[in-house]
């Protein structure tokens, strides 16, 4: 088309951020990734078998029938400028060796906690503290219940004052988005302090 002025506006690709969703066995990591992901999540779940008897602690989660053996993956677009890639870690101790590889390049994490079994999340909290990877704690309210206030949970987990404790429901997209946005806000504030 002679003489026509066609302009193409260059649009910068969005920044992508890798976030880990971690915590103990059966705390809701796969559920959280699935509820908030805008794409069909990649899941590496396998049925629990008799081989795990005596190895996997099912106290409090007797209804659990499958477990993540590698990772869960999902994506959520926060804005035109920011996309989060979510990597759910396996919760069983025998798969923790994968956490080091999954943590490469992660800017932050959500540690999910089940208040019925808070000790199941101690290893995840320790993992991120030792590696100085910023994290927030999401307290997953199973059956929609949150029997303890956030400050009481903070004290029981011996968390530093700067770690946010947020009550959430891993089944609800908006609840999970709120936890992720709190983490992103924290990462932005830390980057501004450093820069």
Q: What is the CATH number of the domain that holds 120?
A: 3.40.50.300
Q: Please, are residues 109 and 182 in contact by the beta-carbon 8 Å criterion?
A: no
- Torsions phi, psi of 134, nearest 5? -60, 145
Angstrom distances, CA of residue 23 to CA of 13, 50, 79, 110, 129: 31, 23, 27, 8, 13
Give the residue numbers spanning the domain of 153.
15-194
Residue 8 lies inside a defined structural domain of this protein: no
- The pLDDT value recorded for residue 116 is 81
Average pLDDT, rounded, for the chain: 83
Q: Could you read off the pLDDT of 75-89 as tens digits, one per residue?
A: 999 888 889 999 999
Query: Residue 64 in contact with residue 43, Cβ under 8 Å?
Result: no
In a domain, 9, yes or no: no
Q: Is residue 94 part of a domain?
A: yes
**Residue 6: inside a domain:** no
In a domain, 165, yes or no: yes
Query: What is the Cα–Cα distance from 129 to 119, expressed in whole angstroms?
Result: 16
- For the segment 125-168, what is each residue's pLDDT rounded down to a tens digit? 999 999 999 999 999 987 777 888 888 999 989 998 889 999 99
Percentage helix, strand, coil for the chain under 3-state DSSP, each rounded to 5: 35, 30, 40
Domain count, the chain: 1
Cβ atoms 110, 179 nearer than 8 A? yes
What pLDDT is attached to residue 125? 95
Any domain includes 1: no
Query: In whole angstroms, what is the distance from residue 138 CA to residue 191 CA?
Result: 22
Q: Which of 121, 123, 184, 128 is nearest to 153 (CA)?
A: 121
Q: Is residue 78 in some structural domain?
A: yes
Please report whether residue 5 resides in a domain. no
129: how many CB neighbours lie within 10 A of its CB? 13
Specify the DSSP element, H or E, that contains 82.
strand 82-88
Q: Name 117's Cβ contacts closer than 8 Å, sequence gap at least 6.
A: 24, 26, 27, 59, 60, 61
């Amino acid at each position: 088309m002679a003489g026509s002025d066609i302009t193409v506006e260059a649009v910068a690709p969005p920044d992508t951020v890798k976030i880990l969703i971690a915590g103990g066995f059966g705390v809701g990591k796969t559920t959280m990734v699935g509820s908030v992901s805008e794409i069909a999540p990649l899941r590496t779940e396998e049925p629990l078998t008799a081989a795990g008897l005596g190895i996997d602690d099912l106290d409090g989660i007797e209804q659990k029938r499958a477990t993540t053996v590698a990772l869960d993956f999902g994506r959520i677009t926060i804005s035109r400028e920011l996309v989060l890639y979510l990597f759910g870690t396996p919760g069983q101790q025998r798969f923790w060796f994968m956490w080091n590889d999954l943590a490469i390049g992660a800017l932050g994490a959500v540690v999910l906690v089940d208040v019925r079994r808070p000790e199941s999340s101690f290893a995840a909290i320790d993992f991120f503290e030792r590696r100085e990877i910023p994290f927030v704690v999401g307290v997953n309210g199973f059956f929609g219940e949150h029997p303890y206030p956030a400050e009481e949970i903070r004290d029981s987990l011996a968390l530093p004052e700067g770690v946010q404790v947020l009550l959430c429901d891993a089944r609800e997209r908006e609840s999970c988005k709120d936890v992720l946005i709190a983490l992103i806000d924290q990462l932005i504030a830390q980057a501004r302090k450093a820069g």
